């Protein structure tokens, strides 16, 4: 089993009878690749806003789930999806207005050169498609990604997702590079050092005879422990890729749609536009809709020469959910809220870090914040403390997870409707646990 703070079954006999019975039934029918969170798994039966509820009515504060971007079971999503489901749900080979209207609205949020969109159902499919497009456009097959990246679970996406574990095979045309480590690296040279590692990866791909098709990077390096600063961290590396003839694919599945509280997309913080952007299920608040957005240069040769069709990618019901998400983000000013609440979280976490040596670093942007746990020397990763904190927070009905190459970083990534009082509840409990 390879996942931070996963349920391992060792305490099955100690769980309450209903939970134990459901786990046993689950194990009997679901494949062994599935994982549960926490030593005492949570059994939610409904969700609302930033809360989940179990069968006994106990409420849990969700500080982790980014897929319900505007909150669990949002009524506006329910309304638009239900209305559309009762009218029409079919594929994009028929001429329907909603997908065109949504595309116009979505692309208006991107730099002008990112002018085309293709729809899929999941972020994994989007990554898969973007890699196909990049390889066709460049004639090369090599891909560069970070050493603990997660980009999806299709065959192609898993080959650039080393965080899936040591038994997940990395593609033969893939080279891994160390992501910046903002606790241990020199922040003044972090961007240049990362670019140097990317340049060596380019050389390696050329030695292998496959060339460079693309570099794919999550714009906040989430699975690499949330590496957020300096804000030009990726620019020099992207220049290296372009000089080598490759494309930059920005993975916005996690940082996109205003979560960082600054602009709509994480790549904007780095001061350079990607060739392609991949979006995932936060786009529809969990309803299966995702996309690849790109430049005409990056996408059109593939589109002219190869038939791509995704039966329910961009169907009217999923587009209704995606429309609802944009409505709520704009009408409820969630970018501004993410900025304000994120700053509050950052300040509170730094105050806790000043009093508890185990909390060695705080970083992030908006509602994507990392709290890194370390040993007494202030640098050695301490995944044991992180795992303890995650499970103890769960016992206090606050749901979170750990991330990073050493599983020692709390990934604080709640629905964007997370408010100041929710942040204070999380901070208070974390401070008490570390005390």
Q: How far apart are CA 413 and CA 347, in angstroms?
A: 16
Cα–Cα dist 15/429, whole Å: 23
Task: Based on the fold, state whether residues 66 and 106 are members of the same structural domain.
Answer: no
How far apart CA 400 and CA 387 sit, in angstroms, is: 10
Dihedral through CA 47, CA 414, CA 101, CA 297, nearest 10?
Answer: -140
**Residue 2: predicted pLDDT:** 46
Residues pairing with 411 in the sheet: 370, 401
- 327 and 337 together in one domain: no
Rounded to whole angstroms, the Cα distance separating 427 from 65 reads: 17
What is the pLDDT, as a whole number, of residue 32? 86
The answer to whether residue 4 sits within a structural domain is: no
Distance CA 136, CA 140 (A): 8
Question: Cα separations (Å) of 100 from 37, 78, 265, 316?
Answer: 39, 21, 21, 10
Question: Which one of 310, 331, 352 terminates a domain?
Answer: 331
Shared-domain flag, residues 237 and 310: yes
**What is the domain range of residue 49?**
12-70+333-434
Number of separate domains in the chain = 2
* pLDDT at res. 135: 98
Do 83 and 42 fall within a single domain? no
Q: Considering only CA atoms, which of 214, 209, 292, 223 is closest in space to residue 254?
A: 223
Strands 247-251 and 276-279, bridge-based pairing? parallel
Regarding whether 190 and 41 lie in a shared domain, the answer is no
Whether residues 210 and 89 share a domain: the answer is yes
Closest Cα to residue 6, out of 29, 32, 44, 45? Answer: 32
Asked if residue 355 and residue 270 are part of one domain, the reply reads no
99 alpha carbon, distance to own chain's centre: 24
Query: Would residue 280 be called left, alpha or beta, if left means φ above 0 and alpha means ψ between -120 and 50 degrees?
Result: beta
Residue 222: what are its φ and ψ, rounded to 5°?
-60, -55
Say how far apart CA 404 and CA 386 lie, in whole Å: 11
Query: Is 7 within the bounds of a domain?
Result: no
Asked whether the beta carbons of 299 and 276 are under 8 A apart, the reply is yes
- CA 358 to chain CA centroid, Å, is 26
Specify if 2 maps to a domain: no
Comparing C-alpha atoms, which of 163, 153, 161, 171 is closest to residue 405? 163
Contact 377, 410 (CB under 8 A): no
Is 323 found in the same domain as 342?
A: no
Residue at 1 is within a domain: no
Question: pLDDT tens digits, the chain, 435 residues: what are they?
Answer: 345 677 887 888 888 898 999 998 999 999 988 888 888 899 999 999 999 999 999 999 999 999 999 999 999 999 999 999 999 999 998 999 999 999 999 999 999 999 999 999 999 999 999 999 999 999 999 999 999 999 999 999 999 999 999 999 998 999 999 999 989 988 889 999 999 999 999 999 999 999 999 999 999 999 999 998 888 899 999 999 999 999 999 999 999 999 999 899 999 998 889 999 999 999 999 999 999 999 999 999 999 999 898 999 999 999 999 999 999 999 999 999 999 999 999 999 999 999 999 999 999 999 999 999 999 999 999 999 999 999 999 999 999 999 999 999 999 999 999 999 999 999 999 999 999
Among 299, 316, 331, identify where a domain stops: 331
Nearest Cα neighbor of 138 from 219, 192, 205 is 205
Q: Is 6 in a helix, a strand, or coil?
A: strand
Decide if 34 contacts 41 (C-beta within 8 A). Answer: no
Structural domain contains residue 5: no
| Among candidate residues 331, 361, 394, the one where a domain is terminated | 331
Q: What phi, psi does 23 have (nearest 5°)?
A: -60, -45
- b/e burial code for range 306-320 (CB count within 10 A of at least 16 → b): eeeebebbbbbbbbb
CATH (domain of 426): 3.90.1150.10
Residue 60's beta-bridge partner residues? 52
Q: What is the DSSP string of 339-363?
A: HHHHHHHHHHHHHHHHH-TTEEEEE
| Domain contains 187 | yes
> Is residue 143 domain-resident?
yes
Q: H or E element: which one contains 203?
A: helix 190-208
Amino acid 4: pLDDT: 63
Q: Do 271 and 386 sit in the same domain of this protein? A: no
- Could you tell me if 124 and 31 lie in one domain? no
Q: First CA to last CA across the chain, in angstroms? A: 31
User: Are residues 143 and 46 both part of a single domain?
Assistant: no
What is the domain-level CATH number for residue 223?
Answer: 3.40.640.10
The neighbouring-strand residues paired with 278 are: 251, 292
Q: What is the pTM of this model?
A: 0.94
As a whole number of angstroms, the distance between CA 410 and CA 403 comes to 6
Which residue spans within 212-299 are E strands per DSSP?
212-218, 247-251, 276-279, 290-294
- The answer to whether residue 218 sits within a structural domain is yes
Q: Residues 161, 243: one domain?
A: yes
């Amino acid at each position: 089993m390879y996942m931070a703070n996963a349920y391992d079954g060792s305490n099955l006999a100690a769980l309450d009878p209903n939970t134990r019975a459901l786990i046993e039934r689950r194990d009997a029918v679901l494949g062994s690749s599935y994982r549960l969170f926490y030593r005492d798994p949570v059994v939610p039966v409904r969700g609302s806003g930033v809360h989940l509820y179990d069968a006994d009515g106990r409420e849990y504060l969700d500080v982790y789930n980014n897929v319900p971007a505007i909150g669990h079971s949002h009524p506006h999503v329910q309304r638009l999806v239900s209305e559309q489901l009762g009218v029409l749900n079919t594929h994009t080979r028929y001429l329907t207005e909603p997908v065109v209207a949504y595309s116009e609205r979505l692309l208006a949020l991107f730099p002008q050169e990112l002018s085309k969109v293709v729809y899929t159902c999941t972020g994994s499919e989007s990554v898969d498609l973007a890699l196909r497009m990049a390889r066709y456009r460049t004639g090369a097959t090599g891909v560069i990604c970070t050493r603990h990246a997660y980009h999806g679970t299709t065959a192609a996406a898993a080959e650039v997702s080393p965080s899936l574990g040591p038994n997940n095979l990395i593609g033969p045309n893939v080279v891994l590079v160390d992501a910046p480590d903002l606790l241990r690296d020199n922040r003044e040279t972090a961007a240049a050092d990362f670019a140097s590692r990317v340049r060596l990866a380019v050389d390696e791909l050329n030695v292998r005879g496959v060339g460079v098709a693309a570099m794919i990077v999550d714009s906040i390096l989430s699975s690499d422990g949330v590496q957020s600063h300096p804000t030009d961290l990726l620019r020099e590396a992207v220049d290296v890729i372009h000089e080598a003839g490759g494309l930059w694919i920005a993975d916005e599945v996690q940082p996109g749609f205003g979560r960082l509280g600054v602009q709509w997309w994480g790549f904007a913080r780095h001061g350079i536009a990607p060739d392609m952007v991949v979006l995932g299920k936060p786009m529809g608040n969990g309803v299966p809709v995702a996309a690849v957005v790109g430049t005409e240069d990056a996408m059109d040769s593939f589109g002219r020469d190869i038939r791509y069709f995704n039966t329910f990618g961009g169907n009217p019901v999923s587009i209704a959910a995606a429309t609802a998400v944009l409505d709520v983000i704009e009408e409820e000013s969630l970018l501004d809220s993410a900025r304000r609440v994120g700053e509050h979280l950052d300040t509170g976490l730094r105050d806790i870090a000043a009093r508890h040596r185990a909390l060695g670093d705080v970083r992030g942007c908006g509602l994507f914040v990392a709290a890194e746990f370390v040993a007494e020397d202030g640098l050695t990763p301490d995944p044991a403390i992180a795992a303890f904190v995650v499970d103890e927070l769960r016992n206090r009905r606050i749901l979170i997870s750990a991330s990073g190459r050493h599983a020692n970083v709390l990934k604080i990534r709640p629905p964007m409707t997370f408010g100041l009082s929710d942040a204070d509840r999380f901070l208070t409990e974390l401070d008490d646990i570390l005390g």
